[in-house]
Amino acid sequence: IDTIVFDKTGTLPLDEQIVTQIHCCAQRSEAEVLAWAAAAEHRQTHPIAKAILIAADQRALEIPHLDDAHYTLGLGITAEIQGHLVHIGSERFLGTYNLTLPSVLQDVQRAAAADGHALVFVAEDDAVIGALELAAVVRPEARATIDWLRHLGLSLYIISGDHEAPTAKLAAELGMDGYFANTL
């Protein structure tokens, strides 16, 4: 064996993420954007939902009551909350509801992608009101394991279905020899 290829998600990073920033528009506050997202996600168990709920809990936010929700696997969630239709998900998901990103969030999206972070967009009724920026948490033991394997003279790569930027960032952070992104 001269090469090891690691699957990215759940292997080198933990199967969890953290909310690093809350980006607002439409004259909304961070608390409002996060509260809508937490209300929509409060019954979900996937890593993005957990990160959102932890962030809301850390800020001691009052979460609005969720009336109903529909989850579209891998894209987002649509929820009825206190008479409002709330969409939480990707830009593609919002596009299915004819919701477009304001220019300020398009700029945020480019910056987040360059940092290797993911964005989850939040829309209320017919307007996008913000985005939550999320980052993966690297396993505490990942660096030591990579260093040990490097010491053995192995070539080390990452393969991921994730986008180019987050995969490249993790590969650089861990000192990998290369990576393969957008691989299903």
pLDDT in tens, 138-179: 999 999 999 999 999 999 999 987 778 888 888 998 999 999
> What is the overall mean pLDDT for the chain?
93
Predicted pLDDT of residue 74: 78
- For 3-23, write each residue's pLDDT tens digit: 999 998 778 888 788 999 999
- Residue 115 confidence class, pLDDT cut points 50, 70, 90: confident
**Contact partners, residue 24, CB within 8 Å, separation at least 6:** 30, 32, 33, 129, 130
Position 184 pLDDT exceeds 80: no
- The predicted model gives 124-146 an average pLDDT of 94
- Contact between 18 and 135 under an 8 Å Cβ cutoff? The reply is yes
Tell the residue number behind the tokens 């987040």, with chain if given: 112
Helices H / strands E in the chain, number of each = 6, 9
- For 83-113, write each residue's pLDDT tens digit: 999 999 999 999 999 999 999 999 999 999 8
55 alpha-carbon distance from chain centroid? 13
Tell the residue number behind the tokens 């030591």, with chain if given: 144
- The predicted model gives 52-76 an average pLDDT of 93
Helix (H), strand (E) at residue 25: none
pTM (2 d.p.): 0.80
Predicted pLDDT of residue 163: 77
Residue 120 has φ and ψ, to the nearest 5°, of: -115, 120
164 alpha-carbon distance from chain centroid? 14
